[in-house]
Amino acid sequence: MSTYKSKTIATWLALLLGSLGVHRFYLYGLKDKLGWLHPWPTLVGLYGVQRMGLLGQDDQLAWVLIPVLGLMLSLSMLMGIVYGLTPDDKWNQAHNPGLPIRASGWGIIIGMVLCLMMGGICLMSTIAFSAQRYFESQEEAAKAISQ
């Protein structure tokens, strides 16, 4: 008999530890190949944050690495929203075949609202950071050419 996979727990795992793939490991086990692809871009992005802290805002490698972290965080928030919006009967078919349907409560709604809020913040911050760095580099290139 398989264990019950809660939609609420999957949503909250995506919110709290989704960029490390914990939500996928919860649903599909430790043999999930996509789950093992989650930690690497997250760690690369965290390395970019560390580089920027050590070397300052002019480090160009950090410019490339930090948006990877933002995209991974945004992706995990999106997955939390998708999990939460999946109807209970379809969730049960996919993750709990043969087990009785359990109705979702307020926990999943709160988790989805937080995923939406954090996902929006992460995505907009990533876009703003990338655009700012791009335009700053273009301005520096124009100054170098004019001199």
Give the integer Cα–Cα distance in Å for 64 and 48: 8
Give the integer Cα–Cα distance in Å for 53 and 121: 21
* Reported pTM: 0.87
pLDDT digits (tens, 9 = 90+) for 95-137: 998 888 888 889 999 999 999 999 999 999 999 988 988 888 8
Q: Which two tokens stand for residue 91?
A: 């969730």
Angle (CA) 112-36-117 rounded to 5° is 20
140 by Cβ neighbours in 10 Å (0-12 / 13-18 / 19+) ranks as: exposed
pLDDT digits (tens, 9 = 90+) for 14-26: 999 999 999 999 9
Helices (H), strands (E): how many in the chain?
7, 0
Greater pLDDT, 62 or 13:
13
